[in-house]
């Protein structure tokens, strides 16, 4: 027709495929389509992006039977010990050292054990003699700092405590924190209230056996109380 010009654009073939949506096995069909030159790159990029989004999802929800078996084996190894420790009622010896008494930390320390849920069965303010201090720390007698340690423990009154509860020995050690206060985590007694090992505020038994031994060492017969807290049903099933 007059006045009209025909513009011939270049085209490139692009192969596309479609999967049928029926319940029968999927059949792949292919046919040729012609896209303008500018659309070809867009189509390739779109296909690549689509594939990239599928791969992470596939990995995220992939199922590994070996992973499940490993998880089961861990439960079988650790769960019995965990249950046993949770059902064992223990006693531990806790002592607030002279620096803790002098700094007025007695109430704060006792409240931490009470809020945790442990039961106080023995409590006294006591001036420790040299002989008792040496017996208590006899495992450290060969250490060069032993004389200094004995002088420190006997320099003022200490608060002797016996606590009872489920897993109380290990839990008390966590409440107390590392021996070196600079290594103790914030929130622990030593982490919050002390700076040096030689003034680390508090002592706690390091095993159930030592807990019993130290309670017998620091408390006389008749100084421990047997009682049941009113809130115990809200702590123990």
The 3-state secondary structure of 82-135, one letter per residue = HHHHHCCEEEEEEEECHHHHHCCCHHHHHHHHHHHCCEEEEEEEECCCHHHHHH
Number of domains in the chain: 1
Confidence of residue 50 (pLDDT cuts 50, 70, 90): low
Confidence of residue 237 (pLDDT cuts 50, 70, 90): confident
Instruction: Evaluate whether residue 231 is within a structural domain.
Output: no
Distance CA 204, CA 95 (A): 7
Confidence of residue 46 (pLDDT cuts 50, 70, 90): low
Instruction: Evaluate whether residue 63 is within a structural domain.
Output: no
In the annotated binding site for ATP, the residues are 97, 145, 173, 179, 190, 200
Decide: 25 and 38 in contact? Cβ < 8 Å. Answer: no
On the question of pLDDT at 136 being above 60, the answer is yes
Higher pLDDT, 12 or 131: 131
Domain containing residue 141: CATH number:
3.30.70.141
pLDDT in tens, 168-200: 999 999 999 999 999 999 999 999 999 999 999
The rounded mean pLDDT for the chain is 78
Mean pLDDT of 28-40: 48
Higher pLDDT, 233 or 84: 233
Instruction: Evaluate whether residue 141 is within a structural domain.
Output: yes
Distance CA 46, CA 40 (A): 10
Domain with 217, as residue range(s), is: 83-222
Residue 30, classed as helix, strand or coil, is strand
Q: Report which of 236, 233, 152, 136 is spatially closest to residue 198, judged by C-alpha positions.
A: 152
pLDDT at position 18, please? 41
On the question of pLDDT at 224 being above 50, the answer is yes
pLDDT at position 91, please? 97
Q: Report which of 140, 141, 125 is spatially closest to residue 223, judged by C-alpha positions.
A: 125
Instruction: Evaluate whether residue 124 is within a structural domain.
Output: yes
Instruction: Evaluate whether residue 235 is within a structural domain.
Output: no
pTM of the complete model: 0.65
DSSP 155-214: SS-EEEEEEEEETHHHHHHHHH--SSTTTSPBTBHHHHH-SSGGG--EEE-SSHHHHHHH
Instruction: Evaluate whether residue 39 is within a structural domain.
Output: no
Instruction: Evaluate whether residue 184 is within a structural domain.
Output: yes
**Catalytic residue set:** 203
Confidence of residue 49 (pLDDT cuts 50, 70, 90): low
Q: Report which of 90, 108, 134, 128 is spatially closest to residue 189, judged by C-alpha positions.
A: 108
């Amino acid at each position: 027709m007059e006045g009209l010009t025909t513009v011939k654009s270049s085209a490139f073939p692009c192969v596309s495929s479609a999967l049928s949506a029926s319940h029968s096995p999927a059949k792949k069909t292919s046919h040729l389509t012609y896209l303008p030159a500018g659309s070809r790159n867009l189509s390739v990029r779109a296909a690549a992006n689509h594939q990239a989004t599928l791969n992470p999802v596939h990995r995220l929800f992939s199922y590994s039977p070996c992973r499940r078996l490993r998880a089961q084996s861990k439960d079988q190894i650790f769960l019995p010990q965990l249950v046993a420790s949770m059902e064992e009622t223990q006693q531990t010896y806790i002592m607030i050292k002279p620096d803790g008494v002098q700094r007025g930390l007695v109430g704060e320390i006792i409240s931490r054990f009470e809020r945790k849920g442990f039961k106080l069965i023995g409590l006294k303010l006591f001036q420790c003699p040299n002989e008792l201090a040496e017996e208590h720390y006899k495992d450290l007698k060969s250490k060069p700092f032993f004389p200094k340690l004995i002088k420190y423990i006997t320099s003022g009154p200490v608060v002797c405590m016996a606590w009872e509860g489920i897993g109380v020995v290990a839990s008390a050690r966590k409440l107390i924190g590392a021996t070196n206060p600079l290594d103790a985590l914030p929130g622990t007694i030593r982490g919050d209230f002390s700076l040096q090992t030689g003034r680390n505020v508090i002592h706690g038994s390091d095993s159930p056996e030592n807990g019993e031994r130290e309670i017998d060492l620091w408390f006389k017969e008749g100084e421990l109380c047997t009682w049941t807290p009113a809130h115990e049903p809200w702590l123990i099933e």
